[in-house]
Structure 1
Amino acid sequence: MRDSCSTPRFSSIGTGNMNLLFEMEKWPVIIIFLTVQMSDSFSSAQVKEPDSNRMDGNEMNELGASFPPLEIPPLHFVTENNSFVTSQTGSTALVPCIINNVGDGMVSWIRRKDYHLLTVGLTTYSSDDRFQAIHLQHSEDWTLQIKFVQQRDAGLYECQVSSHPPISIFIRLNVVEARGEIQGPSEKYLKPGSGLRLQCSVLQSTEPPSYVFWYHNNRMINYDVDRGINVTTDLVEKMSILTITNADTRHSGNYSCVPSNAQPASTYVHILNGENPAAMQHGGRGLSWLQCSPSSWLLIFSIIIIWC
């Protein structure tokens, strides 16, 4: 009975139905395969750019415009070549060198009279530590600073950039000696009770003095108001004035004007008290032998004749 029941079940399917079942089992695999293939094709279509976005091998933007490469602006010296800088002795000299678009170039300072390399970048190569390159970050200014400048520092200086080839400009430093000057003759003569006015100007100075002191003989008198002396100083104008309203014999003597950054100046003041001004002159006293008596002249001529 068990065999007769199982045999009719297999025989009722038949060979054709078995093939159909086999084919139906393959459909899920085919559907998955086709799905993967379509997904890959769609992704490729999105990644690939259309040929219309390319023209002569140049990349185009969305609007179809192309941009040329950026040009680097050329190096340029703002400081004029063969310019002059003047500084006074004892001050700080600043020799300018302003450069646009220096890029990776290295800036050097060279003293031309002996071809001595002073600085490279911010490093000083001179044993004289008075020389230093002054440069702030992102600045285009490469100034050469010389402290306590001296007459021997005068001359031509080269500011050089290590481009290819190197390029340079030249700046000449002039060093002057500032000095005080008291207006009028070197000797002045006054009567007792007269007013005295001495004006001192600082000449050839590139910067104002810090102070101007007045001396009477060896005494500093800027604040001697109780002695009738008044001093007014204008540092910006580089000028100082000494006044005495009522001069007397105690005011006779040497007066010196001493600026902080310049050579002093002097004048001699005579307060006459019945003396002869000609006899008081330094030069007159130096030539007083010309005022000899006749007997003295005769003695001088006799000596000359005997000597000859």
Structure 2
Amino acid sequence: MVVAQLPFGSRHGVSGRYPIPKFMETDTNLTASAGDRVVLVCRVENLGTREIIWRKLPSVTPLTIGGYVYVNDVTISVEHARESEDWKLIISGAHSRHSGEYECQVPTADKQMRKQFYLTVTVIYISDRQHVNTDEPFEISCNATGDDFVPDNIDWFKNGQKLQSDVGKGVSIKFSVSMETKTIKSTFRVAHANMTDAGTYTCRTSNSLVESTSVVVLYATSKNSKRENNFVEVGSIANSYISPTN
């Protein structure tokens, strides 16, 4: 009697007894603001008993292997629930140094099963464009994070002209600082908007980080008149560099 012997793994794929692992779709391009909690999710089907390895490229040193953290960095952790296909790299208090390319690797004989993730941490952020009625208050916030130290200060400009607090006109500028995240926050507030408040507002840090947004003032004849009236808008250069007047 002749018995035909099938090649090893022909019925089960190249991995023999176990199904072949497969990366599933998750977000691979992430953007966060400084201080945010960031979660990179590597989802793998048919992982079996293998454990995921996370790296920050180009370093070959693992950040995590399985459920263990292999770097001396309190901002890095890993989460994996039993029976889950998700292996999450957690970054607490995101910083500019966390920007870059990350890699999720499934241990295989040829070490070729890898997936890349890209993280951008913005170090300066300003409030979105605003629409406000005349005589209503509005405020704009600006957050900035330093690499090694908290930026010394944030200056405000409107259409290139430097702004100052003016209690008599209901204009205030307030600051707060977080030493833990090396972040400074400044809030520019106008108690009663008028048509001359429309324009492009820019915040600039002491280390020359710049961000801009715009404010549109709507002329309202009554408190119930919202956006139905004519309005004035002066400029919109959000996310652009401008060189304010000192």
Q: TM-score, normalising length from structure 1?
A: 0.42
Secondary structure of 2:74's counterpart equals coil
Q: 1:163 to 1:203 in 2, by over 3 A?
A: farther
Instruction: Name the structure 1 match of 2:226.
Output: none
Instruction: Name the structure 1 match of 2:100.
Output: 155
Secondary structure of 2:97's counterpart equals helix
Mapped partners of 1:182, 1:255: distance in 2: 19
Q: TM-score, normalising length from structure 2?
A: 0.51
From 138, 141, 152, the equivalent of 1:199 is: 138
Q: 1:255 to 1:118 in 2, by over 3 A?
A: same
Give the greater-gyration-radius structure (CA).
Answer: 1
One-letter amino acid of the counterpart of residue 86, structure 2: D
Mapped partners of 2:40, 2:114: distance in 1: 14
Q: 1:153 to 1:69 in 2, by over 3 A?
A: closer
Instruction: Name the structure 1 match of 2:119.
Output: 173
Q: Is the 8 A contact 1:181 1:200 kept in 2?
A: no
Q: Is the 8 A contact 1:258 1:265 kept in 2?
A: yes
Q: 1:270 to 1:99 in 2, by over 3 A?
A: closer
Mapped partners of 1:250, 1:203: distance in 2: 20
Report deviation, 1:152: 1.0
Q: How does 1:242-257 map to 2 (within 5 A)?
A: 252-256=169-173
Mapped partners of 1:201, 1:267: distance in 2: 7
Report which of the two has the higher share of helix: 1
Report which of the two has the higher share of strand: 2
Q: Is the 8 A contact 2:141 2:187 kept in 1?
A: no
Instruction: Name the structure 2 match of 1:102.
Output: 47
What's the % identity of the aligned pairs? Answer: 22
Secondary structure of 1:152's counterpart equals helix
Instruction: Name the structure 2 match of 1:264.
Output: 186
Report deviation, 1:154: 0.3
Report deviation, 1:93: 0.7
* Range with greater deviation from structure 2 (96-105 or 120-129): 96-105
Q: 1:262 to 1:86 in 2, by over 3 A?
A: farther
Report deviation, 1:118: 0.6
Report deviation, 1:203: 8.1
The unaligned stretches of length 5 or more in structure 2 are 5-9, 144-165, 194-246
Secondary structure of 1:162's counterpart equals coil
Mapped partners of 1:94, 1:80: distance in 2: 11
Mapped partners of 1:181, 1:255: distance in 2: 19
Report deviation, 1:114: 3.5
Regions of 4+ moved over 3 Å: 55-58, 68-72, 113-116, 180-184, 200-204, 256-263, 267-271
Q: 1:79 to 1:251 in 2, by over 3 A?
A: same
Instruction: Name the structure 2 match of 1:125.
Output: 70
Q: Is the 8 A contact 1:111 1:157 kept in 2?
A: yes
CA shift digits 1:197-246 (9 cap, x unpaired): 23336689xxxxxxxxxxxxxxxxxxxxxxxxxxxxxxxxxxxxxxxxxx
Mapped partners of 2:35, 2:120: distance in 1: 13
* Range with greater deviation from structure 2 (109-118 or 71-80): 71-80
Instruction: Name the structure 1 match of 2:19.
Output: 73
Report deviation, 1:253: 4.3
Q: Which has the higher contact order (CA 8 A, sep 6+)?
A: 2
Q: 1:113 to 1:255 in 2, by over 3 A?
A: farther
CA shift digits 1:151-205 (9 cap, x unpaired): 1110000111111222111100011233336859xxxxxxxxxx6323336689x
Number of residue pairs the alignment of both structures matches:
153
